[in-house]
């Protein structure tokens, strides 16, 4: 089986920084694009940023310049560096992989649209 496990969330004051990590575990052959999403209380989940396996990045306009997504393919890990945090950035941040190819016993298996369980980021004013 495969797991995406986020870490690095916590409580930070406005203007501060946090670095989130999302590590994929399991017998993984490859991961296609990965991304970060967030869901604030009472709101729908929204896209933050994505990164392809080749390292091409894309950001939601409102977060570009403050947030930086990166990945380490050798470690099957994606990161989100968040700077100049604002109270409105408070949310649960979720990691997503749009396609993971992995070994499930003796079978090569593909998982689509795979999610982690999230990590909470709270920004105080």
Mean of the pLDDT values across residues 77-101? 97
pLDDT category at 106 given cuts 50, 70, 90 is confident
In this prediction, residue 115 carries a pLDDT of 97
Mean pLDDT taken over the chain: 96
Q: What are phi and psi of 88, to 5 degrees?
A: -70, -5
* Percentages (nearest 5) of helix, strand, coil residues in the chain: 5, 60, 35
In tens, the pLDDT along 24-74 reads: 999 999 999 999 999 999 999 999 999 999 999 999 988 889 999 999 999
In this prediction, residue 105 carries a pLDDT of 86
Distances in whole angstroms, Cα of residue 12 to Cα of each of 26, 64, 93: 32, 20, 14
In this prediction, residue 64 carries a pLDDT of 82
């Amino acid at each position: 089986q495969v797991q995406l496990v986020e870490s690095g969330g916590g409580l930070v004051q406005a203007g501060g920084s946090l670095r989130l990590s999302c590590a994929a575990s399991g017998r993984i052959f490859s991961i296609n694009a990965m991304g970060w999403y967030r869901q604030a209380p009472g709101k729908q989940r929204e896209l933050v940023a994505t990164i392809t396996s080749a390292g091409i990045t894309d950001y939601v306009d409102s977060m570009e310049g403050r947030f930086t997504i990166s990945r380490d393919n050798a470690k099957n890990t994606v990161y989100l560096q968040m700077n100049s945090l604002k109270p409105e950035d408070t949310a649960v941040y979720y990691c997503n992989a749009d396609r993971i190819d992995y070994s499930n016993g003796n079978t090569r298996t593909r998982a689509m649209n795979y999610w982690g369980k999230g990590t909470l980021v709270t920004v105080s004013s």
